[in-house]
Amino acid sequence: MLSDLQLRNVRCFAALSVELGPGFTFFIGANGEGKTSILEGACVLLRLQSQRTSSLAPVVKFGEKSFAVSGRWRSHVMEFRYSALRRRIVFDHAEQRNAQEYLRLGRVVSFANTDIELIRGGSEPRRRYLDFLGSQIDATYRPTLRAYERALRSRNALLKSAQPRPRELAAYDQPLVEHGERLGVSRAILAQRIAPIAAAVHREIAGAEESLSLRLARGNERDFRADLANSRSQELRLRQTVVGPHRDDLELLVDGKPAAQFASEGQQRTAALALKLAQARLFENEEGAPPLLLIDDIFGELDPNRRGALLRNLPAKSQKLVTATLLPSRDIADARVFELRDRQIYRA
């Protein structure tokens, strides 16, 4: 459990400190008061990444050069400081050379009203869904992903140069293929693990008359190295790497049909909920670690049936941080409530 959280120069907050408890904690306030930034701070503290953006640069308060988040997870003191020039990770008052030990502790699942983009958006949010999950259950996932992204950036930069030479491109092929193959295998295993859980959760929410299925659609065929060689002319024309895990996608079907094209908005929201709840259930049942749940302003987007289904299916042992403009009409026993006004936080 995250028992306290401190933010400094995070988004709109120069400084904020809040004591947290088990079960539900609600942050109530008007739009623009920084409710989501509190959840983001908790995510950055535990996972060293934001649930909102792929980069941490936007988290820095406007006009400042760095931010810091700190808190206590169970009996451990955690701190993370970020600037464009340096990242500092402190675990139990000792600075860490790498994040491996630090990241073993907390698990996070984020729910937001933008989750419907998992269903009807492009492939990027679905890759991020898998990557956010994979980095929390496989210690090798995050470094593999980062290594692949570095190789991809370097290779694309070369392709964008005036006259990229085949020999120079070939030098980047080896790290790209090496890390890309590992990443592809890891994502395929993730998709296989999450698919039956998501299908089961979906049945519980939507009923037996609807089904959800998913599979990983790879961004390359089985032989990544051969695919790179075969795509060389297209790469030189488009000036970018056109095959590989950066083009992976998660194919989602409702009742056997592509969800983005054929599912109604209600069905799409149900499928998105099922994907996120499946993450939480995987952490709790298979990893043995009830995750911290970040539930960001979604009650107003859900009809009463889906709202009730969400509350029934949340892991009972998980700590839940929830934002809303108004406290939901259905009271939740023993919930802590904080109100935000003028960027200040008050216990309600």
Average pLDDT over every residue of 83-110: 94
- Tens digit of pLDDT for each residue in 48-87? 999 999 899 999 999 999 999 999 999 999 999 999 999 9
Domain housing 3: 1-107+290-348
Average pLDDT over every residue of 167-181: 91
Q: What is the pLDDT of residue 154?
A: 93
Task: Kindly state whether residues 285 and 170 are assigned to the same domain.
Answer: yes
Task: Kindly state whether residues 250 and 346 are assigned to the same domain.
Answer: no
Could you tell me the CATH number of the domain that includes residue 64? 3.40.50.300
Look at residue 114 and tell me if it is in a domain: no
Task: Kindly state whether residues 248 and 316 are assigned to the same domain.
Answer: no
Look at residue 242 and tell me if it is in a domain: yes
Q: What is the pLDDT of residue 329?
A: 62
Cα separations in angstroms, 272 against 259, 267, 317? 10, 9, 22
Task: Kindly state whether residues 194 and 260 are assigned to the same domain.
Answer: yes
Domains of the chain: total: 2
Task: Kindly state whether residues 285 and 313 are assigned to the same domain.
Answer: no
Looking at per-residue confidence, does 113 or 131 come out higher?
Answer: 131
Contact 78, 43 (CB under 8 A): no
Task: Kindly state whether residues 231 and 137 are assigned to the same domain.
Answer: yes
Average pLDDT over every residue of 298-307: 78
Final residue before a domain boundary, out of 289, 305, 329: 289
Task: Kindly state whether residues 274 and 214 are assigned to the same domain.
Answer: yes
Could you tell me the CATH number of the domain that includes residue 168? 1.20.1050.90
Final residue before a domain boundary, out of 247, 274, 289: 289
- Rounded to whole angstroms, the Cα distance separating 111 from 276 reads 7
Q: What percent of the chain has pLDDT over 70?
A: 99
Strand order across the beta sheet in which 2-10 lies: 13-19, 2-10, 66-73, 76-83, 87-91, 94-95
Q: What is the pLDDT of residue 330?
A: 58
- Rounded to whole angstroms, the Cα distance separating 122 from 260 reads 10
- Tens digit of pLDDT for each residue in 180-227? 999 999 999 999 999 999 999 999 988 778 899 999 999 998 899 999
Task: Kindly state whether residues 148 and 165 are assigned to the same domain.
Answer: yes
Final residue before a domain boundary, out of 289, 305, 325: 289
Task: Kindly state whether residues 338 and 222 are assigned to the same domain.
Answer: no
Within a 13 Å sphere around the CA of 57, how many CA atoms are in the beta-carbon half?
4
In DSSP terms, 344 is beta-bridged to 341
Q: Is the pLDDT of residue 331 over 60?
A: no
Task: Kindly state whether residues 284 and 304 are assigned to the same domain.
Answer: no
Look at residue 231 and tell me if it is in a domain: yes
Average pLDDT over every residue of 112-140: 95
Looking at per-residue confidence, does 121 or 312 come out higher?
Answer: 121
Using DSSP, state whether 291 is helix, strand or coil.
coil
Looking at per-residue confidence, does 299 or 272 come out higher?
Answer: 272
Task: Kindly state whether residues 175 and 271 are assigned to the same domain.
Answer: yes
Q: What is the DSSP string of 173-185?
A: HHHHHHHHHHHHH
Task: Kindly state whether residues 159 and 273 are assigned to the same domain.
Answer: yes
Q: What is the pLDDT of residue 264?
A: 93
